[in-house]
Structure 1
Amino acid sequence: MKRRTLIHALAALPVLPALPAQAATKIHVYKNESCDCCAGWVKHLSSAGFAVQVTTTDDTIAVRKKVGIPDAFGACHTATVEGYAIEGHVPAPEIRRLLALKPQAIGLAVPSMPVGSPGMEYGDRKDPYKVLLIDRQGRDTVFATYPK
């Protein structure tokens, strides 16, 4: 590129319209008010750029049932995002990947509360765990694996 062309291109930059900022993806988390690990997961989502709305509830099991996550995949909190259910300590990158792939599924789950998953940090300890994709029949397949 010639220097003159570059100078003209740079001079035009201030008159270009500003590109609209991409809105943060909204995610709605249902959690027990006193649960610290749920609060840690909410912080993880916020740090990853999600716009998090939190609803406290004493009955997360009812929320899980309402969004279609089978009890076998239960954890301590449930979220909804763009028509999908997210159960447990699912890492934000996996939620982003789910939203990009848009599979025919109920959503993602990390059953139980594995140490080292987002919100379940405990020093340097990291237990292996799997992120499961739950299909519309309630069956699971491995969506991602997190080794030690």
Structure 2
Amino acid sequence: MERKMPMLRILALATFLSASLSAVEAGELHKALLYKNPQCSCCEGYADYLRQNGFDVEVKPTNDLAEISSKAGVPADFQGCHTMFIDGYVVDGHVPVKIVEKLLNEHPAIAGISLPGMPMGSPGMVGEKTEPFTVYAVTKDGKAPTVYATE
């Protein structure tokens, strides 16, 4: 009987920890809505990249991408090739997941972030990274974007 008690405690603890970890993992799954040009395949690559990093991404093709980005507060020269909405923020372009997670953890008072254009080697893009990626903070008040992070 004495030997069974420690084993039961171990099993109970293992069950508790397993359930706790599953709850944490489920709680960290961020839902995102990504708008993209219907003909763009790199955007699908970016969505897959996010999924591989624990994000739940819904992709919606649209021919109104520039308008969606603009309405979200992203100036035309700071727009990427897709626009994502996540936890109340806009994320424009191929922003690395570490920087998206930084945004979601810090909760800054901004509209969102953007990696303009389609830099080679960025998540979802082909080629090798040749220079640091500069990600900009997009403000809610229409002021010029500022550097949010580099990678």
Q: TM-score, normalised by structure 2?
A: 0.83
Question: Which blocks of at least 5 consecutive residues in structure 2 are unaligned?
Answer: none
What corresponds to 2:136 in structure 1? 132
Counterparts of 1:93 and 1:106, CA distance in 2: 18
Q: Say whether 1:142 aligns with 2:130.
A: no
Q: 1:5-53, CA deviations, whole angstroms, 9 ceiling, x for partnerless residues?
A: 9767425326648333524100100001211111111111111110001
Aligned to 1:77: 82
Q: Which runs of 5+ in 1 are unaligned?
A: none
Shift of residue 127 of structure 1?
3.2
- Tell me the percent identity: 35
Contact 2:73/2:139 (8 A) holds in 1: no
Pair 128,16 (structure 1): closer, same or farther in 2 beyond 3 Å: closer
Q: Which has the higher helix share?
A: 2
TM-score, with length taken from structure 1: 0.84
List aligned pairs for 1:1-148, cutoff 5 A.
9-13=9-13, 16=16, 18-19=19-20, 20=23, 21-23=25-27, 24-122=29-127, 124-137=128-141, 138-146=143-151
For 2:103 and 2:6, the matched residues in 1 are separated by: 41
Amino acid at match of 1:134: V
Contact (CA 8 Å) 1:114, 1:128: kept in 2 or not? no
In structure 2, distance between residues paired with 1:8 and 1:28: 45
RMSD: 2.4
SS in 1 for 2:32: strand
